[in-house]
Every structure is written in structure tokens, then in C-alpha cells.
Structure 1
Amino acid sequence: MLLVPISAGASQSDRGTSDLTVQAAVVVALEDNPSLAAMQMRYEAMQEVPSQVGTLPDPMVNLNAMNFPTDSFDRDQEGMTQLQFGFSQVFPFPGKLDLKEEAATFEAVAAGYSVDEMRVRLANSVKTTWWQIYYLDRALETLEKNKELLRQFISVAKTKYETGKGLQQDILLAQLELSKLMDQGIKLVALRKHQAIKLNTLMDRPASDQISLVAPQYRGMPDILSEAALFELADDARPKLKEREIQVEAARSRLALAERDRYPDFKLGVMYGERTGDNPPFMGGSRADLFSVMVGAKIPLYAGRRQSRAISQKNAELARNQYALIDEKGVVRAAIAGAATDYQRSREQYELFAKGIIPQAEQTVQSMLAAYQVSEVDFLNLVRSQMTLFNYELLYWKSVSEARQALARLEAAVGKGSIYE
């Protein structure tokens, strides 16, 4: 059997149309999904951090009124009365600012990979939801086709009953099976609505928007790369692994910064004091202005309780990030292996149903129907053979959907690049 379109128009180029190919749904979601947009804004915000933390602290400008006598507040009365204008700047120990900027840069790069990872996951969610809706559409089509066949069976049974060659229970049996199909149809319609709501949400559309799928045409299932090749591809391409690797580098920079924090920061300041009035008679002349230079250093007096503990903390954080990278690689490989296994299983089922079981079941139904019309087969066996065919058709479409969902998960697990041979 071939997967054929259910709607006219095989491509989706306009975002406003309700007819969606799986690729078009992914494009819309990647452009409009608010969660992805929030991640992008976080990344852009973090890009502004390195320059901030790698710059010297803002200098201080001081204006002081010094040594004014409280009895008169006269600037000329006392020799040390002055207006001071000063400037001071803190200089972190050499290398600290570079390490802060380096760590922040790594964190910004990691945030960029987290955006890529979100895009991968979002595309996977859209594809799997799309293919679930696709299965439900095919199931509803198959159900309608079988309902029509059962109505034909009822008509045949009525004709035989009216001519005295059939039984009334055959009519009732067919009507019962028809009612069962109607009940199943109600459930399938509800399931489709739920999946449509999910897909609309992923694309940032109103939940009640109608979704009509443009079904692709596929002839068989593609061959995929070996697991070893997929593992190697994921090591180079999966954004989550890249994010973890960059986080390890950021942790190393933070550890180096903690070790450098054992060395003092420096403070340099200058002060100019303006005085008025005259010196005592024996000194003569106007009072000279004063100029001061100040140099200070931060003493790591409590290094045993602060800096040493910070180094231990950053060592532990580095180890945590390294273990997280190892764990993530295991998770990715498990996801690849699981998706590849699911794909191979669904692919084998698809081929079995398409080339063996369904053609055989169709032939069985046709043979049963011909035999029933000449009273060589009872009606119960005819109905059972039709219901068996119906169930096999559902399993066929389920295998198609599950195979495509497995491919979507496999693409997401690898990250980027072609997974096909």
C-alpha cells in the first residue's frame, strides 16, 4: 500500500493556510513558539554579560568638606580646613577580569546551544504530534470505509432474510458491529481534537483552529545509518552535548577565578585639597593646597574560611558538570538506540502489513462475501473477517505513524545532519 495525499495541494508555503505538511508545521513553530522566543531572548541577554564583568569597576569621585570649625564654619580660620576633590579606582589582581569575562562568554555560548537544543526538541514535538494526527486521520478514513462496507453487509443480509435465505440475527449482528465502529469513531475524533490542540499550541495558534494535513507520498521506509555512525554524529552535532561541554569549560574558568581570588585587589586614589586663608606671620604667604595619593590592597585575611572554601566549591561544580556531560552522553546514546529499535520494528511491521497481511485479509473478505451470497459461509465469519481486516488496516497506519515518529525522535537525538544512508 502507498501513502497518498488526502488533500489537494501538496505543498505548504503560506503560514496562514490550514493545510499543513510536517515541514511547514515545524517552520511555523520555530518562528512563532513563545517558549523558544524566551530562550532566544535569554541567550541575547547573556551575550551582554561578558563585557560587563570583564570591565574595571566604576571609579569613585569624592567631594569632601574637611575640618570646618564648628564655632564659625569659616574656611580661613583653621589651616587644615579644606575642600577635597578626589578620584579612586579599584584594580582587581591581574587575570581576574579576563577569567570573569571568559566564564561569562562560555555561559553565553552554552545558552546559545540551549536555544539550539530547544529548537531540536520543539521540532521533534511538532513532528511526533503531526504524525499522531496523521494516524488518526487515516484511522477515521479506514473506519468510514468499514462502516460503509458493513452497511452493504446489512443490505445483503436484509435481502437474503426477505427471500427466506438468511437470518434476522445476521442483520442484528451487522448493526451491532456498525454501532461499535461508531463508538470507536467518537473516541478517535476526540483524540484528534486533543492532538490538534497540542499542535496549535506548539505553533502559537488558537487552540480551536482547524488543522488539515497535507499527507506526504512515501514509497517504503528509508534506510538509516548504523548505531555507531549515529553515536558519532551525535557527539559532533547534538546541541545538548555541546552545551554540557561548554559548561565544563565555564566551570574550569570559575575554578581558576576562585584560585586567583586568593590574591589581593588594589585600590588607587588621588585627592586634591583646596585651602584658603594665610599662614601664620612667621611662615607668611597664603596657605598651599594639598595633594594626596592613596594606595590600598584587599588582604585575604579569612582565606581559610572564604577563598579556600570557594575553591573547594568550584572544584565540586567542575566535577558535577563533568559527570553531567558523561550522563548526557549516555542519555543521548540510549535515545538513539531506542528510537532506532522502534523504527526498525515499525518498519518491519509496515512491510509485513503492506505486502502480506492486508492483501491476504482483503482476499479473505472478498472470498467470504462471495461464499456468503451463495450460503456457503455463515454471516458471523464474514463479519469477523471484515473486522479483522479493519484492525489490520489500523495497525498498518499505526506502524507508518510510529515509524515516522521514531525517525523524528532519532533526528532529535542526533541533533543535526542526515541520519539516512
Structure 2
Amino acid sequence: MLKKLKFRGTVFSRTYAFSLFLTQLLIVNNNVYASEVNSSVLNEHSAVEVAVSDNPNLAEVQERYKALLEVPSQVGALPDPMVSLNAMNFPTDSFDRDQEPMTQLQVGVIQVIPFPGKLGLKEEAAEYDAKAAGHSVDEVRLLLVKNVKSKWWQLYYLDRALDTVKSNQALLQQFITVAQTKYETGKGLQQDVLLAQLELSRLMDQEIQLKAIRRNQAIKLNILMDRPANDVIVLPDQVSKLMPALADENALYLQAESSRPLLKKMETKIEAAQSRLDLAKRDYYPDFKLGVTYGDRTGDNPPPMGGSRSDFFSVMVGVKVPLYSGRKQSKAVSQRSSELQMNRYALLDEKGLVMAAISSAVTDYQEAKQQFSLYGSGIVPQAQQTVQSMLAGYQVSEVDFLNLVRSQMTLFNYELQYWKALSDAKQALARLEAAVGEESVYE
């Protein structure tokens, strides 16, 4: 029996030593990680400012908007006139300008003139396209801010989760010490020590996973801010935990209809489609071509008229006849009509999606807000008191060690849920602001 106890004690010592080794290894890794941390702290507002200033996708959309602003004046201008220089009716035997009366050097100008109203409609459609691109810039900026805020709050939750894991590791170390002391004095069981070591190892594994998740989230936030992917991000320890009351859901719907850039973009695309439909109908009317030429001649007229030859002046007017309107203009009108209706349906569909996004964000926010309040004011403090009471009871052998460990791990999970509720609520607010189109979503 003594040999058996000695053997089990050896197993316990090796297991305990291995747990201590893992703990020290994590501490070393934490120190290395801390040494790499940049001293500057990135708060939520700063992250948004950096992303809006440096994000390449937003810059790309802004340049597209600038490019489209230059289009209306181009399509609204008359086509460039054509200047012609002609050598007319030169005799092939001598190429002498004086030999034949019809020999002349001509200079001419030809100008195509679209039917009145066509250029104005082209310019109007291009202006609507540019305006829609401007709304696209606002929409991309809005979604960028939402994504930055969401990633920032995910990182904040992971930081608090890592802090919670570390504090629970320290508490489990205390449990191990207490259990080991009781075991060595014959008042406890070796399985209590092994159980605590197992839970400690699980926390170490969870810490490793959380650090990997945090690094991946930091990479995504760095990309949004156009920073190197491996830049270290340090967040503040303290943040505002205020959970403001939201405006009425129907009021948020109305607010989105007037503020959401995406809906404004869809409305502008409808106006552009209407202009193109009007232009297609105007194409039934002909365009014109006006030409003027001046012919310079040399030499004299033959008798009896005599005298030097006069120059020629010519005017030409051409009209484009819509001879194949059944296959061209009529089809174009039908095409533009379908495109207009398509954009109208797209707006209705997008409105439905926006309203759904608002309702979903409001629901998520209210749920997370209630959970945060419940965990913060009730569940977590009660769980802390339970653990303290059980620890005191275990030290005097009034509480089973298994129940003590279970109560501590339950507290650990509640603490994680507390921070997750805060993060979820803030992310829901970010989604709601993006869905509405502005930050004024509160009462």
C-alpha cells in the first residue's frame, strides 16, 4: 500500500511539474508578446479615422466618382467638326490647275448636329451616373466604418477574454496549492489535484486559441486601415459601457429612407434610367449634318466670257433617316423601359433588405444590452460569491472539490459572456448605424 501511494505521489509530482512548466512557458510567451507591443493605444475613434483616411478601396471608389464627374460635359458637347482639304478634278496629263475649269483646291468643314434635346438628355444621364457614384462613396465609407468598429470590438472582447483566462489560471493555481496541501496532510484526494491541473491545462489551451483568433482579427483590422498585416494593435483597457436607448424602429425606417446612401444611389439610378429612356424615344428623330466647302480656282474663262475664273462656295445639309426604326430605335426604347423597371424593382428590394437589417440590428442590440446588464449586475457577482463561499468551505472540508472547480469554471464562462455581451451590443450598434445611414439612431 505504501509503495502504491509512493508511486501515485510520483505521478502527481511529474504532472504538477509539467503543469508548472506549461504555465511558465505561457508567461514567457506573454512577456515576449508584451515586449512587441507598440506603446500607442488605438481607440475606436482613431481606428475609424485611420481607415477612412487610408483605406485603398474607399480611395478607389472616390477616384471613380471624380472620373465620372468629368463625363457629363463630354457627352453633352457637340461632336468634333471635321475639316477637309481636297484637290479636285486635276487633269492627269499635266496636273495643271489652269488647264480645266473644274480644277480646284477645296477646304471644307462638316458638323454633325444631333436632334435638339438629345445632347441634353445624354448629359443629364451622365450627371445622374456621377451623382450615384457619389452616393457609392458614402456607402462604401459607411460600410468601412461599420467593419472597423466591428473588428475593433471583436478585438476588445478577445483582450478581455484573455485577461479572464489568465485570472482564472491564477485562481486554479491557488486551488492546486490548497488541494496539494490537503493531500499531503492526508485530508484530501489526489484526484482533486489532478482535476484542477486538468482544468488549468484546458485554460492554457483556450488561451492559445484565443491568441490565434486575436491575431487573425488584428490582421483584418490592419488591412482595413491599410497597415502592414503584422502590425501590433493595442487597445485601451477601459471603454465606455453605456448602452443608450434607441429611437423607435419605425422612425429608424423613415430615417434610413432619407439618409441611407445606398437607397439614394438606387433612386439616382432610376433617374438616370429615365433619362436614357427619354433619349431612346428621342432617337426616332433624325440627326443633321451640315457641311460648308470653299473651292479655290485659277486661270481664265474662255471667250466670249473671259476674265479670271471665280471660286466655288458649297453648302451641304444631310439628314439621318431612321429607316430601320423597327429593329433599332423601337428595340432600344423597349430595352430602356425594362432597365427603368429593373431599377425600380431593385430599389424596392433594397429597401426591404435595409429594413430587415435595421430590425435585425435592433433585436441583436436589445438582446445583448439586456444580457450585459444581467451578467454585470446579477449573474457574475453571484457566481463570484458562490466561488468564494465554496473555496472557504473546501478549506474546512465542507465542500466537495469537484463542485468548487465546477463553480469556478462556471464563473469563468459567465465572465466571458459578460464581455461578449458588451462586444455584441457595440457591434450591433455599428450595424444599425450603417443600416440607417447615420449615427443618430438614439432617442
Counterpart of 2:143, as a letter, is: R
**Is this contact kept in 2: 1:224–1:419, CA < 8 A?**
yes
Given that residues 233 and 417 in structure 1 are in contact (C-alpha distance below 8 angstroms), is that contact kept between their aligned partners in structure 2? no
Q: What does 1:365-380 correspond to in 2, within 5 Å?
A: 365-380=387-402
- 1:155 is matched with 177
Q: CA deviation at 1:167?
A: 1.1
- Find 2:101's aligned residue among 76, 79, 94: 79
The question of whether the paired residues in 2 share the 8 Å contact of 1:18 and 1:210 is answered with no
Aligned residue pairs, count: 406
Find the counterpart in structure 1 of residue 64 from structure 2.
Answer: 42
Once the two structures are superposed, what CA deviation does each residue of 1:197-252 show, in whole Å capped at 9, x if it has no partner? 00000000000000001245334411111110110110110000000000000000
Q: Which residue of 2 aligns with 1:283?
A: 305
Structure 2 Cα separation of the partners of residues 190 and 287 of structure 1: 95
- For residue 20 of structure 2, what is the aligned residue in structure 1? none
Partner in structure 2 of residue 8 of structure 1: none
Residue aligning to 1:19: 41
- Structure 2 residue 321 is the aligned partner of structure 1 residue 299: yes
Matched AA of 1:246: T
Q: Which residue of 2 aligns with 1:339?
A: 361
Q: 1:333 to 1:198 in 2, by over 3 A?
A: same
- Asked whether the equivalents of residues 129 and 195 of structure 1 are also in contact (C-alpha less than 8 Å), the reply is yes
Distance 1:159 1:195 in 2: 42
Q: Is residue 237–residue 417 contact of structure 1 (8 Å, CA) maintained in 2?
A: no
Report what 2:201 is aligned to: 179
- Superposition pairs of residues 178-197 of structure 1, within 5 angstroms: 178-197=200-219
Question: Which consecutive unaligned segments of at least 5 residues does structure 1 have?
Answer: 1-15
Q: Aligned with 1:84: secondary structure?
A: strand
Contact 1:258/1:311 (CA < 8 Å) preserved in 2? yes
Amino acid at match of 2:67: A
Tell me the distance in 1 between the aligned counterparts of 2:291 and 2:40: 68
Q: Partners in 1 of 2:329 and 2:98 — Cα distance?
A: 50
**TM-score, normalised on structure 2?**
0.90
Corresponding letter in the other structure for 2:73: S
Cα distance in 2 for partners of 1:20, 1:220 equals 19
2:55 maps to which residue?
33
CA distance in 1, matches of 2:381, 2:195: 25
Q: Given the superposition, is the C-alpha separation of residues 70 and 18 from structure 1 closer, same or farther in structure 2, using an over 3 Å criterion?
A: farther
Distance 1:408 1:122 in 2: 10
Q: Which residue of 2 aligns with 1:351?
A: 373
Q: Which has the higher helix share?
A: 2
Tell me the distance in 1 between the aligned counterparts of 2:440 and 2:42: 23
Aligned counterparts of 1:192 and 1:67: Cα–Cα separation in 2: 84
- The C-alpha deviation readout for 1:138-167, integer Å capped at 9, x for no partner, is 000000000000001001111111111111
Contact 2:294 2:314 in 1 (8 A): yes
Shift of 1:324: 0.6
Is 1:406 paired with 2:428? yes
Structure-1 separation of matches of 2:117 and 2:338: 22
How far residue 312 of structure 1 moved from its aligned partner, in angstroms, is: 0.3
CA–CA distance in 1 between the matches of 2:439 and 2:411?
39
**Which residues of structure 2 form unaligned runs of 5+?**
1-37
What is the SS of the residue equivalent to 2:289? strand
How far apart, CA to CA, are the structure 1 residues paired with 2:425 and 2:378?
18
Quote how far apart the aligned CAs of 1:416 are.
1.4
If the length of structure 1 is used for normalisation, what is the TM-score? Answer: 0.95
Partner of residue 223 from structure 2, selected from 201, 219, 228: 201
Partner of 2:6: none
Q: Which residue identity lines up with residue 209 of structure 1 in the other structure?
A: D
Q: Does 1:94 align with 2:107?
A: no
Identity of matched residues, %: 68
Q: Cα distance, 1:71 vs. partner? A: 1.4
- The correspondence for 2:152, drawn from 117, 123, 130, is 130
The answer to whether the 8 A contact 2:241-2:422 is kept is no
Q: Is contact 2:65–2:137 with CA below 8 Å preserved after alignment?
A: yes
Q: Is the 8 A contact 1:339 1:409 kept in 2?
A: yes
After superposing on structure 2, the runs of 4+ consecutive aligned residues of structure 1 that deviate more than 3 Å are none
Deviation at 1:19, TM superposition (A): 1.3
Using the alignment, how far apart are the partners of 2:322 and 2:238 within structure 1?
68
CA distance in 1, matches of 2:323, 2:39: 69
Match of 1:165 among 176, 182, 187: 187
Q: What residue in structure 1 maps to residue 24 of structure 2? A: none
> For the Cα contact (< 8 Å) 1:21–1:215, is it kept in 2?
no
Deviation (angstroms), 1:351: 1.0
* Structure 2: distance between partners of 1:417 and 1:210: 29
Q: Secondary structure at the match of 2:106?
A: strand
In the TM superposition, what whole-angstrom CA distance separates every residue of 1:170-192 from its partner, at most 9, and x where no partner exists? 11110110000000011000000
State the distance in 2 between where 1:86 and 1:201 align: 59
Go from structure 1 to structure 2 and tell me whether the alpha carbon gap of 1:64 and 1:106 turns closer, same or farther (over 3 Å shift).
same
1:265 correspondence with 2:325? no
- Alpha-carbon distance between aligned partners in 1 of 2:427 and 2:98, rounded to the nearest angstrom: 89
CA contact (8 A) 1:21 1:216 kept: no
Q: CA RMSD in A?
A: 1.0
Q: d(CA) in 1 for partners of 2:225 and 2:184? A: 56
Structure 2 residue 325 is matched with structure 1 residue 314? no
Task: Give the partner amino acid of 1:330.
Answer: G
Distance 1:236 1:24 in 2: 28
Aligned to 1:212, what secondary structure does the other structure show?
A: coil
